[in-house]
Structure 1
Amino acid sequence: MANLDYTQEQEFQLAPSTEGERGDIERVRPLPRISVHAFCETDGVMRTLERCAQDRRMARVHTRINNGGVLAAANMYGSSSTPNLLILETSRNADSLMADLGQLAEVCDPDTRVVVIGHVNDVTLYRDLIRNGISEYMVAPVSMADVIGVISSIFVDPDAEPLGKVISFVGAKGGVGSSTLAHNCAWSISELFDSETILADLDLPFGTANLDFNNDPAQGIAEAVFSPDRLDEVFLDRLLAKCSEHLSMLAAPSMLDRNYDFAGDAFLPILDIVQRNAPVTVLDVPHLWNDWTRKVLSASDEIVITATPDLANLRNTKNLFDTLAKLRPNDTPPLLVLNQVGVAKRPEIGVDIFCEPLGVEPCAIIPFDAQLFGDASNSGLMIAEANAKSPVAESLSQLAHIVTGRAEVKKRRKSGLGGLMGLLGRK
């Protein structure tokens, strides 16, 4: 934050940064994978933000710079999701600014941070903005050190809670399609919300993320888990393979040239690093039950259990729900996805009967569609790329909203497969 002008109470000072403060940029750590959108009213602030976007410390930041002020932002996000951080320049007076921010608040996602760059050196305005949830107020002109320093203070504070949300997908039984759903959900999150997302394939011997994305990098998660002493943000960046504009992958080697026996805490350092470097991390957890899978699931923010509607899956799902409730007593229960529903001539347990002993509603019911899933897999495409208008693609889109907290599971109608989920939030 720029220094604040001392008032009669000698509390605050708002002023542009000094030359000495510009040197502070050298001590700023690289910023994590976040999305930053800026709205500028003057050429000076726009040029500064353009220089920031080119700085090496923001190499992983997805930056978009627009003309306009707070109202331009409110108009834009009326039909799209807001980024991790909004930087808004304004020349409005205090009353007008607060009214404009009120309009923006109506369309702003709750986890979006907001920084305001104003042209008024006003301590009262500063206090009002902070009291109303603004992360920082800066007075123009601002320098690169000011801007990057403020972003760093918001997202790289070592004492702050980890930035990213970890979502683990695990199958109640082998072959239920948990990996496919994990990969498609990670892709949907990155595409729908322009959110920087990391997909980590934890099935080192048999992982399929590299096949599903038609991307076979030379390095991946094996190097991270077998070299914990080297693990930091720079090393992680080298191991990530780019799948799309906002999606990166820690691929599994998918080779049997060594044993993959891990200690219980083996993957926890990786989780800590990815949480501090991306807003969303999706873990493809193999169908195993040992010390490390138990600890990975216990450390996850959200767990999605994929099952097919048969007796073995029901038993295993019930065991997972009961065990995870003991491991995570203060967290919400896992989410349930019923997959491969409606296989011809296969006896199935009804959805209501399956869910009744679990005490949950399924957050998605995915119909069996061998042609669609087979074509997508063989082509290295996601379901929405293969057929964006299919019911499966819509279900995966809704699942992405739910696991990221943008929607909630709505009580399912008891008849048919219609009305599988309701979204209590805007897309």
Structure 2
Amino acid sequence: MPDMTDTGERLIAPVPRVAIQAFCETPDVATAIEAAATDRRMQKTHLKVQTGGGAAAVESYRHAPTPNVIVLEAPRGAQDAFLGQLDSLAESCDAGTKVLVVGHVNDVLFYRDLMRRGVSEYLIAPVEVLEVVRAISELFNAPGAEPVGRSVAVVGAKGGVGASTVAHNIAWSVARAQGTATVIVDLDIAFGTAGLDFNQDPPQGIAEAIFSPDRLDANLVDRLLSKCSDNLSLLAAPAMLDRTCDLAETSVDGVIDILRNTVPCVVLDVPHVWTAWSRRILVSADEIVIVATPDLASLRNTKNLFDLLKSNRPNDRRPRVILNMTAIPKRPEIAPAEFAKAIGTELAGVLAFDAPLFGTAANNGQMIAEVQPSGKVAESFDDIAAAIMGRPEAKRTRSAGLLDPLLTKIVRRKAS
């Protein structure tokens, strides 16, 4: 029987737009499934929970079409009766409907009987919220399929804290030190600096994808990407003021979905604005990095962001906080330990301000690791990137390898 106890931090792919109906026997299972419906990865689904178990499901679908997924709770001590209900349900189940069963017995024979009847998955109660979300998510990912990419949203607690610089260097470290194909998405459409930081001047970028939703597909995203290195590509901002950026809440969803289905890591450089679309991006990201400076305004804003995102993402890792531009001579600063204590979490990184180093990198269109490969700042970015990718130690000796086959699909150079 598959291991039902693994609630580790394996990446859970978002569930597509599907209809789910659950028929429960006990309040505890019903509560867990209702809680799963509020998870960010289930936001596109339509889930309905009702009582009655297998008998209610048989009656409901006797003369009605079945949804994409049916969740059934098997009653304790009535396995034979439940199997009979499954047989009756099979007579009216539409082709393609998936069935997930939550039971109360760890019995191999019962499990095999379920599998013979075409049940897609079996969970043993009591079930946790993430168990339910993961089980439903995996129903739509064929065995052996490439995993959905990880999205990392980087945002500044206030303007001018260096969030874009941090985002670009983290992405560089993920691509170089971790050897993972990565795309940077510069979402500051009017004033983005990703093109400058990587010495790129692409004629097109993120604006063409966002403002042309009718043409948006993988081929369009392919054409808009600019290659920075073997494992790193850029979806740049045009940095032009010919149109405003009053975006709808879901404007960026399509671009992110396409990239996450193709690339292992997508770093989202989120501007310091508070709009429906920027809030949605932060809440929906797999990882969040908040960049702050050691001053009172940053502390207040970081605390507000941290608390809001933590409450809206109860089943996810807390946002990581990086304290940037520290140790500036003669400037009064909040000590890193006090900053961390005030927001209630350990800092993911503390970056001392080195004006010559950061200035040289910015003016040359280079990353910190290119200017000073063995320096402490470059090592800090490697450590942060390793932690984000779930690897405890950065692979500093690893050189960039061949272009990842996944990235090849969307960043291949077309012959001119």
Q: Same fold (TM over 0.5)?
A: yes
| 1:63 alignment partner in structure 2 | none
Query: How do 1:72-111 residues align onto structure 2 when only pairs under 5 Å count?
Result: none
- What are the Cα deviations for residues 46-76 of structure 1, in whole angstroms up to 9, with x where unaligned? xxxxxxxxxxxxxxxxxxxxxxxxxxxxxxx
Hey, what does 2:324 align to over in structure 1? 339
Secondary structure, in 3 states, of the residue corresponding to 1:203?
coil
* 2:363 corresponds to 1:378: yes
Matches of 2:143 and 2:189, distance apart in 1: 31
Q: Deviating runs (4+, > 6 A) in structure 1?
A: 158-161, 424-427
| Letter of the structure 1 residue corresponding to residue 329 of structure 2 | A
User: For each residue in 1:202-250, what CA deviation from the matched residue of structure 2 results, as whole angstroms up to 9, or x when unmatched?
Assistant: 0000000000000010111001111112111111111100010111110
Partner of 2:306: 321
Please show how residues 117-136 of structure 1 align to structure 2 within 5 Å.
Answer: none
The equivalent residue for 1:394 is: 379
Match for residue 207 of structure 2 among 222, 242, 254:
222
Change (3 A) 1:298 1:162: farther
- Distance (Å, rounded) in 2 between the aligned partners of 1:202 and 1:171: 13
Distance in 2 (CA, whole Å) between partners of 1:358 and 1:323 is 12
Cα deviation for residue 351 of structure 1 reads 1.1
Identify the residue that residue 187 of structure 1 maps to in structure 2.
Answer: 172
Q: Please list, as runs of the form range in 1=range in 2, the aligned pairs for 1:13-52 lying within 5 A after superposition.
A: none
2:187 and 2:283 mapped to 1: Cα distance?
15
Contact 2:183 2:263 in 1 (8 A): yes
The one of 279, 287, 295 equivalent to 1:310 is 295
Residues of 2 paired with 1:236 and 1:404: CA distance?
24
Contact 1:406 1:426 survives alignment (8 Å): no
Distance in structure 1 (CA, Å) of the matches to 2:141 and 2:244: 36
Letter paired with 2:161: V
- What is the alpha-carbon distance in structure 1 between the residues aligned to residue 179 and residue 396 of structure 2? 15
- Per the alignment, residue 354 of structure 2 pairs with 369
Q: Residues 424 and 375 (structure 1 numbering): CA distance in 2 closer, same or farther, change over 3 Å?
A: closer
Residue from 150, 163, 166 that aligns with 1:178: 163
Which residue matches 2:339?
354
Deviation, structure 1 residue 193: 2.2
Distance 1:380 1:374 in 2: 10
Per-residue CA distance 1:346-383 (angstroms, 9 max, x = gap): 10011111111222111110001011000011011100
Change (3 A) 1:162 1:204: farther
What amino acid is the match of 1:265?
T
Q: 1:232 aligns with which of 217, 226, 245?
A: 217
Alignment length (residue pairs): 260
Identity of aligned residues (%): 53
> CA 1:313/1:344 → structure 2, altered by over 3 Å: closer, same or farther?
same
**Counterpart Cα distance in 2 of 1:256 and 1:330:** 39
Structure 1 residues 404 and 359 mapped into 2: Cα distance closer, same or farther (>3 Å)? same
Counterpart for residue 295 of structure 1? 280
SS in 1 for 2:329: coil
Residue 162 of structure 1 contacts residue 275 of structure 1 at CA under 8 Å; is this kept in 2?
Answer: no
Quote the residue 2:226 is aligned against: 241
Counterpart for residue 129 of structure 1:
none
**CA shift digits 1:138-169 (9 cap, x unpaired):** xxxxxxxxxxxxxxxxx985997961000010
Q: CA, structure 1 residues 425+374, in 2 after alignment: closer, same or farther (shift >3 Å)?
A: closer
Question: 2 CA distance for matches of 1:220 and 1:299?
Answer: 22
CA contact (8 A) 2:178 2:394 kept: no
Q: Considering only aligned residues, what root-mean-square deviation do their CA atoms show, in Å? A: 2.4
TM-score, normalization: structure 1? 0.58
Task: Give distance in 2, aligned partners of 1:165 and 1:325.
Answer: 19
1:309-348 deviations in whole A, cap 9, x for unaligned?
1100000000001111122121111001000010111100
Partner residue in 2 for 1:128: none
Cα distance in 1 between the residues matched to 2:189 and 2:274: 15
Are the equivalent residues in 1 in contact too, given 2:190–2:241 (CA < 8 A)? yes
CA pair 156-199 structure 1, distance change in 2 beyond 3 A: farther
- Amino acid of the residue matched to residue 341 of structure 2? E
Question: Whole-Å Cα distance in 2 between the matches of residues 293 and 157 of structure 1?
Answer: 32
Q: Is the CA contact 1:406–1:425 (under 8 Å) kept in the aligned structure 2?
A: no
Alignment partner of 1:264 out of 209, 227, 249:
249
* Secondary structure of residue in 1 paired with 2:343: coil
The residue number in structure 2 matching 1:139 is: none
Show the counterpart of 2:149: 164
Structure 2 runs not aligned, ≥5 long = 1-139, 398-416
**Structure 2 Cα separation of the partners of residues 227 and 158 of structure 1:** 34
